[in-house]
Chain A
């Protein structure tokens, strides 16, 4: 529980809560990038450099921009005129709160709190590469396949349907 962790956690939480609660969709995405960046900083704090930078590269550099593009293309930018929450928002928030209570209860009861912590480690890039190329080579290949399939699928989905001329 260092000060750094508390600051970063507050930043991340503020970003995520704002992302879920703001009226303007673009503001939501910008707040979301703050949350993602905070998470990346938390990964760095935990010593996972590679994952932290990948997080920034993928989420801030790609996913947020993609979301922004879709918001622009569906013309849903600008403050919403109708209510932003659906009619059953009460049920939804109660469910989410219940999930959090259960998770928090499980975490506090689990005995992690009294566990002796191992010394800090630094995940160098080299062992990650080694692991990806030896132990995890099959998942890596499948991941490549999945990404290709997703790319083709996204292109097909988002492509304009061409009118067939007789």
Chain B
């Protein structure tokens, strides 16, 4: 490869960054920083709203296929314009507000939810040099903004003056708080290893190669365990199946957004999916090397394409899991969080320390894997203990 080829690849990789610079550079100096920020914000909003639209149709089609159905296939080619139809429908629907509802809080809840979800994208590097703000405490910011979601959920559930919505909100908050602890603890191993809270430097650490193999944190025992724990906690955090109790249709109808209709309902939907994308993107940033290519010979593909490929892959896994697993019971959910996730994440911290201080080699791998697998098996045994399920005989329902 010649030097010019490297330059061309670099130009394609940085095309959005340079075009943003070019657009902004004509403006007077005092407007440059703010207009470049606005450009980035518009780009983020558009791209992730589009991803939301694509995901809804992919999810419905994928779930349909998993259940041997077609899924949406009427609007446009193969049903891919379905989100457009859904959007038009939700916009033209009547916006109902219960008479006894707390009008202002009822209005603010979906706005706060979507706002919090979009705020989280500020620190996510979607490509090389492509991050809105490189905060010193980026990961902390991410979790701080994520905690706003709980407040929005409570506002929605409480202001509707509906028993089901209040129950759903309480469930959602209890679940989110319980799973936020393992979520943060699972990401701390990466912060320990990287020695930084900045998302950009965490990705930079993973973007180098030994031979063709990348230095992603997921390729270590603690990294893999952390990734798995993080993804489980992220599933619970974004209220997705099998942890979708807050909106359990069969028990509490739709949970905290039962009294929302029309566009506000669509906003809740949007907020939920954006939260899922954000936590997936965080998992990618922390464990899967962010925008870095999986092999050193694939670095010529632009970094943002790698990021979105990984994101779509994680979304597909989310859909797959949703299509497979049934919903947990509330006590199972809680005991899983406190009796399995929390001890495992704490243990993972310890394992990361062991990994750091042991000399490199096969022994280190074996010790760390043993330290993780044995307690995992013991803990999962203890979760099942005392609950021996016999074959059930029905008197009337046979």
In the assembled complex, B41 has its CB within 8 A of some CB on chain A: no
Contact status A72-B170, CB under 8 Å? yes
Which of B144, B155, B173, B198 meets A30, CB within 8 Å?
Answer: B155
Residues from chain A with a CB closer than 8 A to the CB of B195 are 126
Stretch among B29-37, B135-143, B303-311 lining the A interface: B135-143
Residues from chain B with a CB closer than 8 A to the CB of A64 are 151
- Cβ of A131 to closest chain B Cβ, rounded Å: 15
- Cβ of A119 to closest chain B Cβ, rounded Å: 18
In the assembled complex, A13 has its CB within 8 A of some CB on chain B: no
Contact status B137-A49, CB under 8 Å? yes
Residues from chain B with a CB closer than 8 A to the CB of A54 are 140, 144
Contact status A57-B136, CB under 8 Å? no
State which residues 48-73 of A face B: CB under 8 Å. Answer: 49-50, 53-54, 56-57, 60-62, 64-65, 68-69, 72
Contact status A65-B140, CB under 8 Å? no
In the assembled complex, B196 has its CB within 8 A of some CB on chain A: yes
Contact status B148-A60, CB under 8 Å? yes
State which residues 26-54 of A face B: CB under 8 Å. Answer: 26-27, 30, 33, 49-50, 53-54
Contact status B144-A57, CB under 8 Å? yes
State which residues 115-154 of B face A: CB under 8 Å. Answer: 135-137, 140-141, 143-148, 150-151, 154
Interface size on A, residues (CB 8 A): 23
Given contacts A57-B143, A124-B136, contact A30 B148 (CB under 8 A): no
Residues from chain A with a CB closer than 8 A to the CB of B146 are 61
Contact status A61-B141, CB under 8 Å? no
Q: Chain B interface: which size bin? A: 20 to 34
Kindly state the separation between the CA atoms of A64 and B149 in the bound complex, as whole angstroms: 13
Kindly state the separation between the CA atoms of A64 and B135 in the bound complex, as whole angstroms: 25
In the assembled complex, A161 has its CB within 8 A of some CB on chain B: no
Given contacts A30-B155, A65-B173, A125-B196, contact A50 B137 (CB under 8 A): yes
- Cβ of A53 to closest chain B Cβ, rounded Å: 4
- Nearest neighbor of A72 in chain B, beta-carbon distance: B170
Residues from chain B with a CB closer than 8 A to the CB of A69 are 170, 173
Q: Give the 6 A-B residue pairs with the shortest CB-CB distance, closest first.
A: A61-B147, A56-B144, A53-B144, A57-B144, A53-B140, A125-B197
B: residues with CB less than 8 A from A are 105, 135-137, 140-141, 143-148, 150-151, 154-155, 158, 166, 170, 173, 177, 180, 195-198
4 more contacts with CB within 8 A, not counting A65-B151, A65-B173, are A26-B158, A49-B137, A65-B150, A77-B158
A: residues with CB less than 8 A from B are 26-27, 30, 33, 49-50, 53-54, 56-57, 60-62, 64-65, 68-69, 72, 77, 122, 124-126
